[in-house]
Amino acid sequence: MRSHEGRVVLVSGAARGIGFAIAQGFAGAGAAVAILDLAEDAVIHAAGQIAAEGGTAFGIAGDVGDFAAMRAVVTEIEGALGPVDILVNNAGISPKHEGRRHEIWEMEPEEWRQVMEVNLTGCFNLARLVTPGMKQRGQGSIVNMASVAGKAYCDFVGVHYSTTKAGLIGFTRHLAGELGPYGITVNAIAPGRIDTPLMRGVASAVNDAIVEATPLRRLGQPQDVASAALFLTSAAAGFVTGQTLDVAGGWLMS
Ligand SMILES: NC(=O)c1ccc[n+]([C@@H]2O[C@H](COP(=O)([O-])OP(=O)(O)OC[C@H]3O[C@@H](n4cnc5c(N)ncnc54)[C@H](O)[C@@H]3O)[C@@H](O)[C@H]2O)c1
């Protein structure tokens, strides 16, 4: 039997990049996967690709920052696939302007607000909606996508981004404590530099310098992060909670 046979997994920001690799990984491990992302055509395309590979996937569009919309989305997913066993809070944004961050003195309050809403409030919204069912069933797992930028200074991301990723590490630790007594594990992943469309938003010299500073001397692949998400939600990690696992090739290790 495959490791996640029969489980229902909700992955946010799953139409591309790390989220898509995670959805593919779970589908390959036997789970039914809900692919949540902003655009209707993108989620249909991503779910179609997973179905073509023999997996079970349900695409649904919505903005994680919108609580009312997420309530409807979770209801629809549970109607289609059944109760959510695993939530992967992956959707995140890191605004750049011609390949560079805005420094704090030039950042618009609206941009700050938007990053908070997607990267932090979006994770609260989905966790808020799936935990009543998990608590009732006495089992569940949540994985939050943090970043090494939440633990160490990165000179190419904005202050809003690092703040949300540091916040997610605290969110993870807190929820692990609160939900542990109900059989629910909560962990975070802190990726280093992973080769995705988000990462290509900066000048290529930035990525070259990171490879140079990474002990394993390469960029991460989305599948490297997917493997960690599978592990953290598997029976093998049944006694692991409240942890943040770096998937960074040793870059910025602490
Ligand atoms: N790529 C990296 O180097 C890296 C490093 C550390 C952490 N991360 C984190 O990993 C996660 C995924 O990153 P990625 O590199 O795959 O990014 P990406 O930009 O390639 O993909 C992110 C996906 O999230 C979706 N999304 C954005 N806002 C949304 C919203 N409001 N509601 C629903 N979906 C939304 C996007 O449409 C996109 O499909 C993010 O949380 C990111 O911060 C990435």
The DSSP result for 42-74, as a single string, is HHHHHHHHHHHTT-EEEEEE--TT-HHHHHHHH
Q: Is 225 exposed, middle or buried (0-12, 13-18, 19+ CB in 10 A)?
A: buried
Catalytic residues: 161
pLDDT computed for residue 200 by the predictor: 77
179 in Cβ contact with 134 (< 8 Å): yes
pLDDT computed for residue 100 by the predictor: 94
Of all protein residues, the one whose alpha carbon is nearest to atom 36 of ligand 1 is 13
Q: What average pLDDT is seen over the chain? A: 97
Spell out which residues line ligand 1, taking CB within 6 angstroms.
12-13, 15-19, 37-38, 63-65, 90-94, 118, 122, 145, 147, 191, 193-194, 196-199
- Please tell me the distance from the alpha carbon of residue 147 to that of residue 248, in angstroms, as a whole number: 9
Residue 67: CB atoms within 10 A of its CB come to 15
Interval 148-184: pLDDT, tens: 999 999 999 999 999 999 999 999 999 999 999 999 9
Return the DSSP state at 185.
Answer: E
**Alpha-carbon separation of residue 207 from 27, 67, 71, 200, 204 (angstroms):** 30, 35, 38, 8, 5
* Continuous segment of H or E residues that includes residue 187: strand 184-191
pLDDT computed for residue 201 by the predictor: 76
pLDDT computed for residue 197 by the predictor: 84
- Domains of the chain are 8-246 (3.40.50.720)
- The minimum-distance atom of ligand 1 relative to the CA of 222 is 16
Of all protein residues, the one whose alpha carbon is nearest to atom 19 of ligand 1 is 198
Return the DSSP state at 188.
Answer: E
pTM of the model as a whole: 0.98
- The minimum-distance atom of ligand 1 relative to the CA of 17 is 16
In the chain, which residues have pLDDT < 50?
none
